[in-house]
Structure 1
């Protein structure tokens, strides 16, 4: 149980003691005993500390160290820290899951991309980029949910769901699943609430839930996914033509 806590603190931060026990396969009493053995009076006390540590900026990054500890600029440390986070996350990527994702994206007649809150910018960028390479890729917007009606067993949903797991993403995933679409979930935990609705789970095993740490990892992952898709399936001539037209449209926008 202690190993599970270290590997996936998000589960302890977001679920009740009873639910955590169900996910691990032990009783709620065992979870409470774990808390006591770690020196906590209750599960709530442990959960509160985990939640605070997840969002604690003060000791996570050289940006917040004293001047005597930071010899280079804070900008330098921010960039090098990003590369460290990305390198660490890359060691956990499941190649088999990536290859399956690429195949399903290629086979899909339509791809709908969805993300809420901070993940919306990730969804927007990925939908735009995949549409240039593959075509027939749409961004889900809650105010215009008619795109859901286009999903079928020949479609795929590519959905982002990270800590604080937005209910909208869960609803979209469930709706897509009910319509027969193949659901690909990009998430940060093996026990994320969206996982039961996903056919393929891309668990990035993000080291922290702080957005300045997670965003560079996710965008780097998406960029690598797009590069892999392009190398495997895209016609270079068609891609160049699409990029040229996109630039032309931007130039003559006014």
Structure 2
């Protein structure tokens, strides 16, 4: 088993402090591939001894062995990406294959029970507001448009005209997309929604992102690279899965797959 499988298998039996390190490893393995045990301990505000104890708790002899395994796992992913542009033929197909690999990897890391809860929350919500800044806006725009066609109570938060989250109560749901480098405006919207008692759904790229603690439900899309070009196919794939699952539950699949509405001669 690699570092990811060992961490997931051992996670339920870890102490609270060791779980903090486990979550950091799953969310940002590059930290463990590049930094020393001491540096990671300082970053996570734990002792270096605890970092070493975590390594042993998930089956390694020490930090160096864990680091080598993480480096090997990330290198295997990187090599696939590096080879793309060395080929004179089928590079388009190769890029799509890497996207597919990233989607498969991310799907194995997602807690689908939380996704199921998110779907139920969206269906029951009285009103849904979807927000995202900078490159996250594209996710928010697409998701809100399709979701509104299914539920009819969804709106996109537009910073140029909206003055904040105004509605109060748990029945009002706020969905926020926040990816590295984590726009401060998204965090402020999440804080405002929490103060209003709204249900907050966060879609981000790390359980340790500065907005995660504000979510009632947090969907973390974990891939090795922070590149928007690598992250976007995975994000849209997750959103597609959520929308199709929701459409099936409310028996409106034809709205997201409207084959019968078109006539092509």
Same fold (TM > 0.5): yes
Q: Which one of the candidate residues 211, 216, 231 is aligned to 1:214?
A: 231
* Pairs aligned (count): 222
Q: Report what 2:43 is aligned to.
A: 20
Q: C-alpha displacement at 1:29, in angstroms? A: 9.1
Does structure 1 conserve the Cα–Cα contact (< 8 Å) formed by 2:146 and 2:256? no
**Residues 31-42 of structure 1 aligned to structure 2 (within 5 Å):** none
Q: Which one of the candidate residues 214, 236, 255 is aligned to 1:197?
A: 214
Does structure 1 conserve the Cα–Cα contact (< 8 Å) formed by 2:149 and 2:255? no
Q: Report what 1:61 is aligned to.
A: 82
Cα gap change, 1:151/1:115 in structure 2, threshold over 3 Å: closer, same or farther? Answer: farther
Distance 2:110 2:148 in 1: 24
Q: C-alpha displacement at 1:137, in angstroms? A: 0.4
Distance 2:101 2:255 in 1: 35
Q: C-alpha displacement at 1:154, in angstroms? A: 1.3
Q: Report what 2:191 is aligned to.
A: 174
Cα gap change, 1:18/1:93 in structure 2, threshold over 3 Å: closer, same or farther? Answer: closer
Q: What's the TM-score, normalizing by structure 1? A: 0.73
Cα gap change, 1:124/1:4 in structure 2, threshold over 3 Å: closer, same or farther? Answer: closer
Report the aligned-residue RMSD: 3.9
Q: Report what 2:70 is aligned to.
A: none
Distance 1:237 1:216 in 2: 23
Q: Report what 2:28 is aligned to.
A: 9
Cα gap change, 1:6/1:61 in structure 2, threshold over 3 Å: closer, same or farther? Answer: farther
Distance 1:240 1:79 in 2: 23
Q: C-alpha displacement at 1:238, in angstroms? A: 7.5
Distance 2:238 2:137 in 1: 16
